[in-house]
Structure 1
Amino acid sequence: MVKIIFARHGQSEANLAGILAGRRGANPLTATGRQQARDAAGLLPSGVALWRVSDIARCAETADLLMSAYAEKHGSAAPTAAVMEEFSEVDYGDWSGRRLEELRTLPAWDRVQNNPQDMVFPGGEAQHDAWLRTRRGVRLVLSELSVLESGATAVVVTHGDIIKMAVADALGMPLQHFQRTAAAPGSLTTVDYSGRVPVLTAMSVSSEGQTGQARTLGGGA
């Protein structure tokens, strides 16, 4: 069983404030977010073969806490995570640092939600480009897993929209429909890639039972 477990970073200060952080500025985890990262270790299987992480600081902070708690649980040395820019946050450009309630009033918000394949964030990235690099990142991780023992599992610590894009791709959904899923901060989402087609086996699972928010960016606060 070849699996990728996508871990969303824990609650950040921007999540708590209802701000779209994107790639800009310091955005550390809250106390809740740090606890979410530690608690997620208890939901992971033993013998994780690969750890990969976004290049954004809140994901690195989450990965460090998650891996430390994982090592403590299994009585092993703490693993290390290799950075993969393919799993970086969407570059929201000029939308970064703005409140979500304000962004929802913009004419382009409908495009983000219903026609993301046509959305280019002003001063930032096209959602289609983020989709393509996410797919590339998944395939790189699967290639690494393929040379390991049967049943290898990878953990990828990344962002809500990136997880949603990976899930949509696994389910054969076009980018247009990726907003039909949501991933909560500190949650785990698992895709089994061992069969003829990928199978989503868990979505937005967290120890506290928090769920992602619909019709937002990044899977909700």
Structure 2
Amino acid sequence: MATVILVRHGRTTANVSGLLAGRTPGVELDEAGTSQAIRTAQRLAVVPLVAVVSSPLERCAQTARHILEAQTTTPTAIVDDAITECDYGDWQGQLLSLLSLEELWAVVQTQPSAAIFPGGESLSTMQARSVGAIRRWDAALEAEHGPGAVWVAVSHGDVIKSVLADALGMHLDLFQRITVAPASISIIRYGTMRPTVIAMNADSGDLSWLKQSASAADAPVGGGAGADAIPSAG
């Protein structure tokens, strides 16, 4: 089976200032975010990627560019609107400290499946489009490159959290239990029986074990031996 590595973009000035950037144009990586993206790219350099699929927003495009430049092979570079940031509508560009006073804030925190942002989209819609896109790309890239294909999707915190929740079989109402830090990686393999989440929110560790062939679709009873470097990945 193919392997998808979900990468959140590096830190931005909006992250630091407490703004909900959303789809605001011109939000780029700050100095720390650039360093984070470079470090993640260096970690991924040991893994021959077949493709890097990115959200169109600048902060993701910059992160994806660092990943592509660090590769010794030439992965296909793809931009996909379906994994772009949630459309936060009227909330976009607002301070999180002020948004936390809104009635909708509690819904976002405790029942996100019911959250619809004024003038924007719902978190359920965001999850449906992003999960659909990740699964489509995974199937297409496996069909093209074989079951050992490894590819990267560069996206946003809430998008990645929603994809992980789906892979874990969690209801969207539980996705706020997941943390996805800037420039962190999470790894999923979609099998014929079920998805397998290999790592979540990892920001250190050797990834060379990903060059090994994908494991069988069956889950190892008793836990299995695992790859030598997996413990250091998260």
TM-score bracket for the superposition, by shorter chain length? 0.7 to 0.9
1:196 CA drift (Å): 2.2
What CA deviation, in whole Å up to 9, does each residue of 1:130-184 have, x standing for no partner?
Answer: 0110121112112212312221111000000000000001011111111110100
Quote the residue 1:107 is aligned against: 103
Matched, 1:184 2:185: no
Quote the residue 1:218 is aligned against: none
Q: Secondary structure at the match of 2:27?
A: coil
TM-score of the superposed pair, with normalisation by structure 2: 0.82
Matches of 2:191 and 2:104 in 1, distance apart?
38
Look up the equivalent residue of 2:124 and give its one-letter code.
H
Quote the residue 1:173 is aligned against: 170
Identity %: 37
Runs of 4+ residues over 6 Å off in structure 1? none
Quote the residue 1:137 is aligned against: 133
Does the CA contact (< 8 Å) of 2:57 and 2:84 recur in 1?
Answer: yes
Quote the residue 1:41 is aligned against: 41
Structure 2 runs not aligned, ≥5 long: 206-234
What's the C-alpha RMSD, in Å, of the aligned pairs? Answer: 1.6
Does the CA contact (< 8 Å) of 1:3 and 1:194 recur in 2?
Answer: no
Matches of 2:52 and 2:25 in 1, distance apart?
25
Matched, 1:84 2:80: yes
Matches of 1:11 and 1:80 in 2, distance apart?
25
Matched, 1:19 2:19: yes
What CA deviation, in whole Å up to 9, does each residue of 1:169-221 have, x standing for no partner?
Answer: 1011111111110100111111122362111111111149xxxxxxxxxxxxx
Quote the residue 2:216 is aligned against: none
TM-score of the superposed pair, with normalisation by structure 1: 0.87
Does the CA contact (< 8 Å) of 1:14 and 1:20 recur in 2?
Answer: yes
What CA deviation, in whole Å up to 9, does each residue of 1:99-120 have, x standing for no partner?
Answer: 1111112111110011111111
Matches of 1:207 and 1:201 in 2, distance apart?
14
Quote the residue 2:223 is aligned against: none
Quote the residue 2:60 is aligned against: 59
Matches of 1:30 and 1:85 in 2, distance apart?
23
**TM alignment of 1:134-213, pairs within 5 A:** 134-147=130-143, 148-194=145-191, 196-207=193-204
What CA deviation, in whole Å up to 9, does each residue of 1:78-132 have, x standing for no partner?
Answer: x442111110000101111111111112111110011111111011111111011
User: How many residue pairs align between the two structures?
Assistant: 203
Q: Secondary structure at the match of 2:86?
A: coil
- The more displaced of 148-157 and 86-95 is 148-157
